[in-house]
Amino acid sequence: MKKPVPKMRRLTIPALLCCLPLAAAAEPTVWHENSSIWASQADVTVSGRVLDDKGQPLPGVNVVVRGTSNGTQTNSDGQYSLTAPENATLVFSFVGYTSQEVALNGRTTVNVALGSDTKALNEVVVVGYLSINREQVTGSVSKVSQEDIRRSPVASVTEALQGRVAGVQVNNSGAPGQNPIVNIRGIGSIALNSNPLYVVDGVWTSDIRDINPSDIESTTILKDAASLAPYGSRGANGVILITTRRGKLGKPAINFNAYGGVQNIPKTYDLADTQKWADVTRMMYTNAGQTPFAGAANPPAINTDWQKALFQSGRVQNYSLGLSGASEFANYNISGSYFNQKGTIVGPKFDRYSLRLNSGITRGKFHMDQSAQLSRAFTKRVNGIPFIDVIRMLPIIPVYDPTTVSGFGFGNTNQVTFGTNPVGLQKVYNDTNTENRLIASLAPEINIFDFLRYRLNLGMEYLSFQDRTERKYGQAGGLRMNEPVRPAELFEGRGDRLFLLAENTLNFQKSFGNHNVNAVVGYTEQKNTYKFTNATAQGFGTGPTYYWSLGAATGSSSVDGGTRRWTKRSYLAQVAYDYDDRYLLTGAYRHDGSSLVDPANKWGDFFAFSGGWRISKEAFFSGVSGISDLKLRASYGELGNDQLPEYLSFGLINSNVNYPFNGTVVNGAIQNQLASKNLKWESRATTNIGFDLGLMENRVTLAADYYISKTKNALVNPAIPFFEGNVGVNPYTNLGRLENRGFEFQLGYTSDPQKDFRYGVSANLTTLKNRVKELAFEGQNYPGGPSGVARTEAGQPVGAFYLMHKLGIFQTQADVDAHKVQPSAKPGDVKYEDINGDGQITDADRRFTGSPFPKLQYGLNLNFGYKAFDLTAFLQGVQGNDIYNVTRYWTDRMDDNGNFRADLNPWTPSNPSTSTPRPLLGGGLNASPLSDRWLENGSYLRLKNVQLGYTLPKTLLERVKGIGSLRIYLTGQNLLTATKYTGYDPEIVGAGPLARGVDEGNYPNLRTVTAGIQLGF
């Protein structure tokens, strides 16, 4: 298919160079250059002590022989010792202090005092394509320290972000290999995804699951338009910048980190045993005037605990090994890791291997960085919805039954249930995914002048994948009642995706007196190609041994596949200006052209501007004591969201369709997807007002923001009938509007790190109000969740709950007669409100009740240290959201053959319950899924992470040659949760973007206890 899209030239070969290791070529040059110099000089042992400007010893100071990688670090008393040529020059450097160079001139003792460097204390953050001092940032930018990530033994960095940054909501699950759902400042789209963009060492990606958290140096979250505008059509949902570790000056360092532990599902349901189940089931049939089936009338001597059969102790382990180092001219970091997770239910698991190589080289005005990670991940997926089926299965059914075709027990006419055997489904249904991924970048730059620098950033992400599903004979029909027995089947899907990126930028940075300018202009191109082939075949015998090969199939088969591409071309500009470090202005503009949008509207313009005033720098503020920094800031901008499916602007034709014509089957073609005409860019306009406050020399910090984010031209795709010629993706149109608004607060305190007792506190709080302002036409709505329990409609949050309102339980016939609108009801039935007043209870009596969005999100991080001991505790929670509990629906519906809660106490004439109705087979409105009976408070407070560590003193380690540092630690995750929610876990990933508050058997988060070691050589 030929398409009028921006073209991308000459990128493939340069991008492949991203994998070349630079340090290997650069480092020998350094050593060879110095070997000739050292040959004529005698080596001496130099020792001394390094103090700060207050006379206190400084541990961890880098002491390096200039021009080499020969160096060491000071110990806890500030002392050092190394061998160097007698006339060498030593370089002393430490973060936050001014570096010093001292010529030996034959001396063997050199003591140094380092003074504080106020400029170094100003943290530098990357905002778009500029590096700016933290104090000069005018947008809403948050940074998560590598230390916080290091103290969270998790599979991915996104898990470690949960609760640590205001405005960032992370919902996780315990399923091995599953990605958390991340939203920054709410959901900004209805039909498109709201996931943020990740930029890893300059490479754009949407998936960082396979990035080893131990490799990460810093993580920065960009939240407002001022910081996001440089990313244009990918900035609307926020951006997370990840920088991986590089070698540091000093001797080559070897680091080994390892941890291992056990995982468990923290909560189980107290389900009915055989006797209690039979009692309730007989009542259910009797109230319906029917005879119970045999297993309920006379239950067998079987009492299966299905949770015990399905749940197990999981295991998690991680090993990382790294080698790094640097000289004045080059740096390198090589690391490898292995992560393994065995699931807490029978079957699922996740394995990941990764290898990273980062390097850099500097020669005069030329500098080049290289970054590459190669990873392989294997996931054995969760099959079906086991956390629902484990509730539905009857206690009178055994887990294993040799009389069935599958060898597993399931429902029959004597033990009626339509639940699926969850143990059997995990054991005999083999559904796996294997991914090999390379993400790499190569970034040469040259200083044309002291104030002008050119940079070329070449990036690539290559992904090859294989999905494979093996279904043994009898699995379908052998695990669930009344399902037909099907032949053995094999599905195999293979494909790959190649993303290429080329960015050319020119950076200008110069001061004119008190006027300081930092600006960049650039031209970029991106290209993404996705190819796939799927094949399904049946007929591999009846077992027990199977030869799983598509060519061995004896039954029917099918094949499909395709190729999808998109390209993007962009022009950008960004500038940061300040006058005397007091008055700050920034602006950014990006002009994007994309093949994903209608050709007539493929170019979009995105921009932002912001300003800041550092009041604390004013002369009139100089006499104010205690306040070290005070800055006001404001921003406005418009961003885009281009996360569209490919080829929407074209009608798709299926050219391989058989149709009977005049008594003969002929091959023809049909249109199966209508074109989405005149698509425009979905844009998001954001206003942000905030301030930054520092007290007590910035040991106390407070950042506060108020934001309003409005999505304009939101893409919606209302359903189109099949007879209109659309059986694929519904056509999109720009007729929606959304709004998110809220407050964000980030508070922190850090004590003096040089004292024996150290402590720190950080807390964040976020409010969020989400509203749909407009859809395609008045009255339009989008249902979500099972039976449409959630609905997206103008005036309501995305995925708000739309349910009938329960008023109580009818206690007498007089109650039924007085209510009038439910004349067929009986005492013990649920009483509903007649919302529309038409004298009957129907689907029209639903109302909006409850929101899936928390009114408050918060986190609290506590850090304590005493000499060699350290203790951290992290709490996280949400307040004010609701959850539709599908699990509770199955335990309490009492109209279908499943199990019940052990404490279920239904209405009877002798037990006039006001909360639980009578059991009734086919129970009508009593068991309606559209009732707010199943809606619960989703608020919770969780002790997310606790870690106790001990670092062996350097004085002790000095006795063991070669070991530079050793820390051991014990960690507990998800140890305690305070909540009123009755499901397995109040932290859910939802049932899709339009049903984010529906718990449809979500895999719960796990209680984890691990022990680990961090070793440095």
CA proximity to 247, closest of 131, 339, 360: 360
Question: What pLDDT is stored for residue 4 in this prediction?
Answer: 43
Mean pLDDT calculated for residue range 126-145: 89
Contact between 196 and 556 under an 8 Å Cβ cutoff? The reply is no
Q: How confident is the model at residue 892 (pLDDT cuts 50, 70, 90)?
A: very high
Q: Which neighbouring-strand residues pair with 998?
A: 884
Q: How far apart are CA 57 and CA 78, in angstroms?
A: 5
The confidence score (pLDDT) of residue 12 equals 43
What three-state secondary structure class fits 162?
coil
Please report the pLDDT score of residue 270 as a whole number: 95
What pLDDT band is residue 54 in, cutting at 50, 70 and 90? Answer: low
pLDDT tens by residue, 961-979: 778 889 999 999 999 999 9
| Start and end residues for every CATH 2.170.130.10 domain found in the chain | 124-253
The Cα 219–Cα 236 span in angstroms is: 19
Confidence of residue 28 (pLDDT cuts 50, 70, 90): very low
**pLDDT exceeds 70 at position 37:** no
Q: What is the mean pLDDT of residues 771-783?
A: 85
Conformational region of residue 407, where left means phi above 0, alpha means psi within -120 to 50, and beta covers everything else? left
pLDDT band at residue 27, thresholds of 50, 70 and 90?
A: very low
Note the pLDDT of residue 99. 81
Structure tokens at 796: 């309501």
What per-residue confidence (pLDDT) applies to 122?
A: 62
Are residues 865 and 759 in contact, defined by beta-carbon separation less than 8 angstroms?
A: yes
User: Mean pLDDT throughout 277-287?
Assistant: 95
Residue with tokens 């230390």: 147
Summarised one tens digit per residue, pLDDT across range 373-407 is 999 999 999 999 999 999 999 999 999 999 888 88
Global pTM reads 0.88
pLDDT band at 225; cut points 50, 70, 90: very high
Instruction: Give me the residue label for tokens 């110095």.
Output: 34
Q: Which tokens is 397 given?
A: 């059914």
Residue extent(s) of CATH 2.60.40.1120 domains in the chain: 44-113
Strand partners, 577: 517, 585
- Among residues 37, 30, 613, which one has the least CA distance to residue 360? 30
CA nearest to 530, candidates 611, 484, 463 = 463
Task: Answer whether residue 894 shows pLDDT above 90.
Answer: yes
CA–CA dist 651, 673 (Å, integer): 5
Confidence check: pLDDT of 983 > 60: yes
> In sequence order, what are the residues at sequence separation of 6 or more whose Cβ sits closer than 8 angstroms to the Cβ of residue 859?
162, 163, 164, 763, 764, 874, 875, 876, 877
Separation between Cα atoms, residue 422 and residue 312, nearest integer Å: 13
In the predicted model, is pLDDT for residue 6 greater than 60?
A: no
**Tell me: the pLDDT tens digits for 398-456?**
999 998 888 899 999 999 999 999 999 998 889 999 999 999 999 999 999 999 999 99
Q: Which residues pair with 64 in a beta bridge?
A: 71, 91
Q: Which CATH superfamily is domain 44-113 in?
A: Carboxypeptidase-like, regulatory domain (2.60.40.1120)
Q: Calculate the CA 897 to chain-centre distance.
A: 38
pLDDT-wise least confident of 19-23, 57-61, 440-444: 19-23
Percent of the chain with pLDDT over 90: 65
Instruction: Using DSSP, state whether 115 is helix, strand or coil.
Output: coil
476 confidence band (pLDDT: 50, 70, 90): low
pLDDT digits (tens, 9 = 90+) for 604-617: 999 999 999 999 99
User: Could you give the CA distance from residue 109 to residue 89 in angstroms, rounded to a whole number?
Assistant: 13
Q: Please say if the pLDDT value at position 475 is more than 70.
A: no
- Specify the pLDDT at position 743: 97
Both tokens of 428, joined, read 């005999």
Beta strands (DSSP E) in 833-881 are 846-848, 856-866, 869-879
Q: What is the DSSP string of 452-466?
A: EEEEEEEEEEEEEEE
The residues facing 495 across adjacent strands are 465, 532
Q: What pLDDT is recorded for position 653?
A: 79
Class of domain 124-253: mainly beta
Which residue did the predictor score with more confidence, 673 or 707?
707
